[in-house]
């Protein structure tokens, strides 16, 4: 007996289609709400760069190994390439575009300029986002401590000495701003 292939007519309905349908979401970045439509698999890094056009956050390895994509979520440093954009919904995201106070650079940004803390500059946004938190966390007491607590931020130009000097300068400038140093 010959069995004809099923045409689907009269058979069970197809299983429910579950993705990757795009989802409407709102991301709060640098104090502003951004409405966007994303595939659920979209990383926060791709959402920032490709959807919100905030390209200051850099894509180095896209697998958690370089720190170029460091941003803050609710004031804590995270790797945007390892974070799903949808996981940031309802939370406060800060990128390098959001750390200056209007035209006034953040003290750590100024310190990177003063110490020449970069060469190609590709890692610099991530270095600065990490450095500010390194200081605020109280992990910038010495160059060796800075090296340890910023070890996730790789610089392929190997500008580490200048980066550590910049973090020290930024630490002292932040303390002066807060009135903790003369």
**Residue ranges binding ligand FES (CB under 6 A):** 59-62, 64-69, 79, 81, 118-124, 155-157, 159
Query: From the CB of residue 59, how many other CB atoms can be counted at a distance below 10 Å?
Result: 18
| Shortest CB 20 distance to ligand FES, Å | 21
| Shortest CB 37 distance to ligand FES, Å | 23
| Shortest CB 153 distance to ligand FES, Å | 9
Nearer to ligand FES, 87 or 181 (CB): 87
The residue behind tokens 């800075």 is 146
Nearer to ligand FES, 20 or 121 (CB): 121
Nearer to ligand FES, 25 or 127 (CB): 127
| Shortest CB 44 distance to ligand FES, Å | 10
Nearer to ligand FES, 38 or 69 (CB): 69
Q: How far apart are CA 161 and CA 173, in angstroms?
A: 18
């Amino acid at each position: 007996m010959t069995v004809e292939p099923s045409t689907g007519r009269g058979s069970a309905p197809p299983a429910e289609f579950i993705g990757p349908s795009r989802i409407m979401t709102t991301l709060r970045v640098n104090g502003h709400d951004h409405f966007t439509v994303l595939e659920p698999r979209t990383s926060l890094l791709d959402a920032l760069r490709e959807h919100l056009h905030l390209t200051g956050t850099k894509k180095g390895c896209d697998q958690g190994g370089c720190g170029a994509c460091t941003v803050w979520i609710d004031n804590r440093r995270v790797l945007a390439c390892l974070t799903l954009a949808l996981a940031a919904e309802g939370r406060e995201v800060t990128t390098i575009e959001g750390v200056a106070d209007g035209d006034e650079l953040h003290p750590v940004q100024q310190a990177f300029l003063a110490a020449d803390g970069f060469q190609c500059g590709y890692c610099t946004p991530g270095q600065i986002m990490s450095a500010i938190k390194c200081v605020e966390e109280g992990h910038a007491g010495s160059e060796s401590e800075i090296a340890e607590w910023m070890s996730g931020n790789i610089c392929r130009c190997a500008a580490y000495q200048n980066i550590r000097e910049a973090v020290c300068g930024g630490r002292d400038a932040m303390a002066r701003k807060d009135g903790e140093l003369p």
